[in-house]
Structure 1
């Protein structure tokens, strides 16, 4: 019974030693934004205006683009007129019923027509609201995919944007690191573009080990990120496995 336990312990020690040798080498990492997305047109039409260009900053709720919606706005006017007429008809039919001069069925039909007209107005207003593209968060424009006055289709990509207020550090570790890796552990990353070290901590560990490479993705968060850092920069992270506990030691690359 003692032999299997000894072999298991020996295997674990060998695995940790192999991981320690691999961790002695710097680990490549990349800075990525917490939030980034591609904004697309929700309706087809001529791109009337783009208010931002590549690299520009914007605020949450700011108008980034607008599509020519003259036709859709005219449909709102038509829907309002139809609703006004339907409301008057309903009012007349209701009064006739009160005076015993009209049928209940006619009054109910008039009421239904009024509700139908109101729904049509609401629908037209929703369509027009999609003519303006608003920023879902504050950030910067990564790429402008279209030009003003260009005709765009519904679903066509217009802008790539990101939130650079908080950057994360992504890197890949051997799956053996899961034995000692802990969320909250601090480390330093040496960013190549600036030549400086920055303090960070592990905030997430991947949910799945890659079955081919036997690696796991690790995500760290920078403490008080400097304004000189931008998404896409890369650097080196060096982690040293523990000797007697389960804490990751930090060393500079």
Structure 2
């Protein structure tokens, strides 16, 4: 009888311990809400940070087309220039001498051709000799045109107005054909390039206005979407967007970066 009492008490104690463990056990975490187009990071999550970089309207690298010594670099690094202004002058005394030689050859061939024409009127020259003298004149003129084309490459002019971003060579340096000389940019208008989630395409449109906060200045500037990329990256599910800064702000420079303040809520969605 005493054994039965102890067994009943043990069973009751085990049931009480199991109930206490069940009451204190943590409940399973609620499932995370699905990601929506209005909240790119998921409901209740932090919104995705979109970074952008300022790029010039036009930019290129000027290279040498001939092998020659640099005589002058009229615009220093960081300096501004006008369209058509000389940026690199080469020492082309040898090339100019070749032009003078070709010009003299043209004069000689032209004299022979004119003399043969007069002799032909007198029936004193053969047709073959007349034709050969005309061909010699044409060849001399072609040689002169080729040498003159080389001399025109002795000066590199600016293809657009802007600034010298990087000067890769120095005066009196001899350069080879194809060697990079200057990096130039047109910063009269600055573009913004950034990547956004591809699902933003349902509300993001060209000419849409937004704000961008530039890190280097700590200020916010107006911007406008200029172009949306033609294809979506299948891995990141993002698309490239090009925008333009609305207005001229002297403190902004190419290469600066910042935060794009663009979202479905800001777009009115």
Aligned to 2:77, which of 49, 54, 63?
54
Q: Which residue number corresponds to residue 230 of structure 1?
A: 253
Q: Is the 8 A contact 2:35 2:41 kept in 1?
A: no
Q: Is the 8 A contact 1:25 1:238 kept in 2?
A: no
Unaligned runs of 5+ in 1: 1-12
Q: Which residue number corresponds to residue 85 of structure 1?
A: 108
CA distance in 1, matches of 2:86, 2:35: 58
Q: Which residue number corresponds to residue 38 of structure 1?
A: 61
Q: Which residue number corresponds to residue 4 of structure 1?
A: none
What's the CA shift for 1:24? 3.1
> Residues 136 and 165 from structure 1, CA distance in 2 versus in 1: closer, same or farther, beyond 3 angstroms?
same
TM-score by length of 2: 0.82
Q: Which residue number corresponds to residue 248 of structure 1?
A: 267
Unaligned runs of 5+ in 2: 1-33
**Deviating 4+ runs (over 4 angstroms):** 20-23
Q: What whole-Å deviation, never above 9, does each CA across 1:24-53 have from its counterpart, x for those lacking one?
A: 344211111110000000101111111122
| Residues 37-186 of structure 1: pairs in structure 2 closer than 5 A | 37-186=60-209
1:19 partner SS: coil
Q: Which residue number corresponds to residue 37 of structure 2?
A: 16
Q: What whole-Å deviation, never above 9, does each CA across 1:76-132 have from its counterpart, x for those lacking one?
A: 000010000000000011111111111111111111110110111010000000011
> Residues 249 and 200 from structure 1, CA distance in 2 versus in 1: closer, same or farther, beyond 3 angstroms?
farther
The root-mean-square deviation of aligned C-alpha atoms, in Å, is: 1.8
> Residues 95 and 23 from structure 1, CA distance in 2 versus in 1: closer, same or farther, beyond 3 angstroms?
farther
> Residues 20 and 182 from structure 1, CA distance in 2 versus in 1: closer, same or farther, beyond 3 angstroms?
farther
Q: What whole-Å deviation, never above 9, does each CA across 1:193-226 have from its counterpart, x for those lacking one?
A: 2222111110111112222222111111111121
1:240 partner SS: coil
Q: Which residue number corresponds to residue 3 of structure 2?
A: none
Q: Which residue number corresponds to residue 25 of structure 2?
A: none
CA distance in 2, matches of 1:15, 1:24: 11
TM-score by length of 1: 0.87
CA distance in 2, matches of 1:140, 1:14: 46
Q: Is the 8 A contact 1:86 1:113 kept in 2?
A: yes
What's the CA shift for 1:150? 1.0
Q: Is the 8 A contact 2:190 2:245 kept in 1?
A: yes
Q: What whole-Å deviation, never above 9, does each CA across 1:150-169 have from its counterpart, x for those lacking one?
A: 11110000000000001011
What's the CA shift for 1:241? 1.2
Q: Is the 8 A contact 1:23 1:240 kept in 2?
A: no
Determine whether 1:199 maps to 2:222.
Answer: yes
Q: Is the 8 A contact 2:40 2:48 kept in 1?
A: no
Largest Rg, 1 or 2: 2
> Residues 249 and 17 from structure 1, CA distance in 2 versus in 1: closer, same or farther, beyond 3 angstroms?
closer
What's the CA shift for 1:63? 0.6
Q: Is the 8 A contact 1:185 1:202 kept in 2?
A: yes
